[in-house]
């Protein structure tokens, strides 16, 4: 995971850890594509969670674009999910842009209202079942605290969680409907990509 928002990053790390997922939070200063190229293919992560706003340390290119291009070029099985922690809801144009780039999904800022649904989208992408009981505890913690900075660490919340109620979720991400790039009628440009409406 690469995240620029400390509170949101901590919330994601805590929520995913309660689902028995190991989360490694990398610094935004790392060149993610270079790191992935040095990894042995069998040790690549199942999932990359990347803040859309993080730029490559050596250029003005967004890391999210670079990573999506790398995954497409290398036929990687690693799923890429992008974050936009500055928005409560992802716009259709932003979602279409990310899917065209090769991302599996784009997620908004986490809150007590959307926590379970957004974590379910992530776990569904990698074929994991969802345990809602620890997520409900996190939701209550968010609701009771005005600041997400006071969240407990992932291990503490996972230890306090009630017995798991496992249920399988389905990926709710929208499908990418591709049309001919020649027909630009009814399309708009977003970050250098033509998006159909």
CATH no. for residue 109?
A: 3.40.50.2300
Q: Is the distance from CB of 174 to CB of 95 less than 8 angstroms?
A: yes
161: Cβ–Cβ under 8 A, 6 or more apart, which residues?
A: 18, 131, 133, 134, 137
Domain residue limits at 109: 6-172
Residue 60 CB coordination number (10 Å):
6
Supply the pLDDT for residue 75.
85
Residue 118 counted as domain residue: yes
Based on its alpha-carbon atoms, the radius of gyration of the chain, rounded to whole angstroms, reads 17
Q: What is the pLDDT along the chain (197 residues), one digit of tens a residue?
A: 999 899 999 999 999 999 999 999 998 889 999 988 888 878 889 999 999 989 988 888 888 989 999 988 888 889 999 999 889 999 999 999 899 989 999 999 999 999 999 999 999 999 999 999 999 999 998 888 744 444 444 444 545 543 333 333 333 333 333 334 434 455 555 555 555 55
Q: Is residue 43 part of a domain?
A: yes
Structure tokens at 196: 């159909």
With respect to residue 53, please indicate whether it lies within any of the assigned structural domains. Answer: yes
- Whether 187 maps to a domain, the answer reads no
Domain for residue 191, yes or no?
Answer: no
pLDDT of residue 58: 81
Query: Cα–chain-centroid distance for residue 174?
Result: 15
Residue 178 lies in a domain: no
| Percent helix / strand / coil, the chain, rounded to 5 | 40, 15, 45
Q: Is residue 196 part of a domain?
A: no
189, part of any domain: no
Domains held by the chain: number: 1
What integer pLDDT is reported at residue 186 of this predicted model?
Answer: 56
């Amino acid at each position: 995971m690469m995240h620029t928002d400390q509170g949101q990053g901590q919330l994601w790390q805590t929520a995913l850890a309660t689902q028995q997922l190991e989360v490694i939070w990398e610094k935004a200063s790392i060149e993610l594509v270079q790191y992935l190229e040095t990894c042995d293919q069998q040790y690549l992560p199942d999932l990359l969670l990347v803040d859309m706003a993080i730029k490559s340390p050596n250029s003005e290119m967004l890391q999210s674009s670079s990573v999506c291009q790398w995954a497409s070029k290398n036929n990687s099985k690693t799923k890429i999910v992008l974050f936009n922690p500055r928005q409560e809801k992802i716009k259709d144009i932003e979602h279409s842009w990310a899917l065209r780039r090769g991302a599996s999904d784009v997620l908004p800022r986490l809150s007590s209202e959307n926590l379970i649904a957004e974590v379910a989208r992530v776990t569904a992408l990698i074929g994991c079942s969802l345990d809602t009981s620890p997520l409900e505890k996190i939701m209550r913690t968010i609701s009771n605290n005005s600041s997400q900075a006071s969240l407990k660490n992932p291990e503490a919340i996972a230890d306090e969680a009630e017995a798991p109620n496992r249920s399988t979720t389905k990926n709710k991400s929208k499908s990418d409907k591709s049309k001919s790039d020649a027909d630009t009628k009814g399309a708009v440009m977003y970050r250098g990509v033509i998006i159909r409406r």
